[in-house]
Amino acid sequence: MVRAPCFDKNGIKKGAWSEDEDNKLIQRYGHPNWRELPKLAGLSRCGKSCRLRWMNYLRPNVRHGNFTKEEEDVITSVHNKLGNKWSKMAALLPGRSDNEIKNHWHTHLKNRAPKDQTVLKKEQSGSLELRDANSKGCPLIKTSLNTQQEVEILLAVLSSDLTSSSSTSESSPCSLSVSDYAVPSDVTPQISDTAGNLWIEPFLPDAGSFISSSDNMFSSLGLADDLISQASLQDYMIDDVLLWSS
DNA sequence: AAAAAGATCAACCGCCAAGCT
DNA sequence: AAGCTTGGCGGTTGATCTTTT
């Protein structure tokens, strides 16, 4: 299930690694420069290929095989909050490589998402929607895109809430991601509901568990403290919300 | 039994940020 | 300040394996 070995025009070998190559790489590991390492080890590989082979298969304590339920829970949880941050997931799962986690997500976990989950959808106009996947009607939330920071707050709040609510019910967490949203920096934030109230109002400061359990997430997004405070959540029911941008 | 379709996963590719010159 | 090098990350590919028809 690997690519057949071959050589490119520069004489660099590509494709599956042989046992002999693995041994040479292991013997030379520790050199501070990945690009120099293959020369010293007598390998016809590029530095990147050596690094990848080492990180995914040859480094000590690397694990392969079935993922445990706990590992899958970690992956699902991080994915719900941060999207495709495979390296962050790998940091939380000793012995697992980002590549393996990524593969496992695409082949096993991704398809387990329920059909009635709430999903975000990027609109052609650049607006942002939150809607039930089965609903053909109005989106739960629809807003003009604002600053990248505003979008990240929106996604962070929604994904965290839906994830936390899933722990007390049978429903599964929804999948949210900020990766697809490029937001013009000069657009004035405008998130409001049909009555013209600021969208953030349902999330007025509340020193509840939401904030304390989400500090790391917000910190990782680089959000200022006052914005984190604004993003706190109280009695938020996703199905009750219908917000439109003006 | 054979062909087709789907699933798996190792490895490659391009982009980006940080560090160095 | 600008350009270059390097390591790291996430998306994608493609060969092989497994299941279905």
Tens digit of each residue's pLDDT (9 = 90 or more) over A76-131: 989 988 889 999 999 999 889 999 999 999 988 877 654 434 434 433 334 444 44
Nearest nucleotide (CA of A55 to C1'): C8
Q: Give pLDDT, residue A154.
A: 52
Q: Give pLDDT, residue A100.
A: 93
- A132 and A216 assigned to the same domain: yes
A148/A156 Cα distance (integer angstroms) = 12
Residue A200 falls within a domain, yes or no? yes
Q: Give pLDDT, residue A102.
A: 93
- A177 and A73 assigned to the same domain: no
Residue A165 falls within a domain, yes or no? yes
Residue A63 falls within a domain, yes or no? no
Q: Give pLDDT, residue A52.
A: 92
Separation between the CA of A84 and the C1’ of C10 (whole angstroms):
8
Number of other CB atoms surrounding residue A37 within 10 Å: 21
User: What residue type is assigned to position A95 of the chain?
Assistant: G
Range of A145's domain? 118-244
Q: Give pLDDT, residue A11.
A: 81
Residue A64 falls within a domain, yes or no? no
List all nucleotides in chain C with at least one atom under 7 A from a protein Cβ: 5-12, 14-17
A98/A16 Cα distance (integer angstroms) = 19
Q: Give pLDDT, residue A126.
A: 42
- A142 and A35 assigned to the same domain: no
Q: What percent of chain A has pLDDT over 90?
A: 15
Of A98 and A11, the structure prediction assigns the larger pLDDT to: A98
- Contacts of A68 by beta carbon, 8 Å cutoff, 6+ apart: none
Half-sphere exposure of A130 (CA within 13 A, CB side): 26
- A128 and A157 assigned to the same domain: yes
Tokens of A242: 């219908």
Q: Give pLDDT, residue A17.
A: 92
- Contacts of A181 by beta carbon, 8 Å cutoff, 6+ apart: A122, A128, A145, A148, A151
List all nucleotides in chain B with at least one atom under 7 A from a protein Cβ: 7-14
Tally of domains within chain A:
3
A21/A17 Cα distance (integer angstroms) = 6
What number is the average pLDDT over the span A201-216? Answer: 28
- A164 and A218 assigned to the same domain: yes
**A71-75, A106-110, A169-173 — which one is most confidently predicted on average?**
A71-75
Average pLDDT of the residues of chain A? 59
Q: Counting Cβ atoms within 10 Å, is residue A139 exposed (0-12), middle (13-18) or buried (19+)?
A: buried
Residue A1 falls within a domain, yes or no? no
- A135 and A240 assigned to the same domain: yes
- A202 and A125 assigned to the same domain: yes
Q: Give pLDDT, residue A227.
A: 36
